[in-house]
Structure 1
């Protein structure tokens, strides 16, 4: 999908102060014809997943570019809690691979020990639970050690564990690492934090309804309130199942009282040209990921966040210019959405004046969970 259809597409001005914005469907890019179809709907559910690809390292699939969140934001729906980005502390360090391969925290629970590039343990400096501390603490610790050392990764050491039991308990990790020439029973595993889950998103109620009438959301792109400021492992699957079911039942119960809006115009592509400047899209995406990873990552500060906003402005202007002149492609749409979502993460991080859950700033000493 490209955009949520609202009163804006009927020529009515819609802004953040507009009450009772209504969804009439969506403009959708047809991958076969490369044309934009107008899909009218009485009810629309956005379930587009997360936005991990706004960062350089992520465990998310390449399609996790925040499309649904960005579309609802442009439709003037409420987006909340975007500052709470969960980083998994241990993804396999392999710059050639995207998404990053997840090294489960169960491996630390089994006895794996985090060590610096030089082979020294370091978690005792950060938490009494050592390598078994919570995700956010471990991720911050690794991030700090990497900034101190200037290295690209730390190690997870499993060499002291029983080889046969290690392979039996973690066959996928063993096979994956072995394919890269790493025998986890004899070699330490290079690991790095990676963007894993966004706890915020499209604000919804207990029925999955967003603040835009006739528009629902479920899954990672929705902010149901279930995860607060720091998600517990595996809760998101149950959340998706429950709220998707509740949203569908609620939409079905109301379908008879809603009419289609046949006045929505078709997409106007007149004057658009097919861009051959893929290098511009690729480089803009890399710049965005570098900005977010450097300034809006695990540890933040007001100075870093402001610098990120300043850098993002130019990318936004360039992407909007490209979007407005080009025949649309998935890459152009994804870049635009990623920039919108990055902006939301930064602005809501700036607005958060305390350390809470997954948001940690050097400028604030108080921490709340």
Structure 2
């Protein structure tokens, strides 16, 4: 066993014998993906994760301030929590797998951690996906039903929606979690003969072909394609609402309000999410339709590239909020800057 490629929970071990196979599906971009993995992914992922953990912690602190609490901000807080947890777990994984290459990686404890990392991050990332869908749906309802604001402004209902995203994601991920387990494998030397002096623990697929197909289709359709399609329609609706509001303000010669800026910020979050997740969904869908040679030669070798794109998307929300929300920016400055410095900059409390 030489390599382990991880992307959103999928684990693919590759042997030297498999590398010599003549497969049908080949990806020209796979060589770039492997080069990125060998030279850049380790340090890049650690830097992004460290920044993302700090950034998402600041988001949690700012959005839970008393005057910032709202249904929308509660959902954004939940999103920040799961994104931070994904990156916290990814740091030791990246250090051990990509930077500390001298250490033997086929111990039982490492295999258990790989299995935990794959399942834990997959469930958290799925929660993040469906929280984003929840966020878009909530904003669309707020815009389309202005007479029901008392109903939609309930933080208790927002908490229920967050819990539904949490538990629903666990159910969706159940087939994938059950498909992998830790197994003791016979080690081979470079000549292909067994070396009985070494113990090799690996994470392998288990279960029937039906369960394997179910897990692939669940991942491709239930976790990637359906949320992306839903978010595409929801973002189009939100953009249309923003343009209509701008047209009305132009006719009335009025300035923009906080609601429009909030909607614009949420649209940006959703669009970034679609750009990140849709290509992964298409590749995963092709992996479910085609045979395993596509997964090995295309999807698996692009795994680290897809990982870093997802990590960057989880880390940049703080920058987006600071750029597009005056209330968030002001609250952040009030939280981190000394009073005398804020007065010099004329930042309102």
Identify whether the pair has TM-score above 0.5, normalized to the shorter chain. no
* Structure 2 length-normalised TM: 0.25
* Structure 1 length-normalised TM: 0.24
Higher-RCO chain (CA-CA 8 Å, sequence separation at least 6): 2
The structure with the largest strand share of the pair is 1
The structure with the largest helix share of the pair is 2
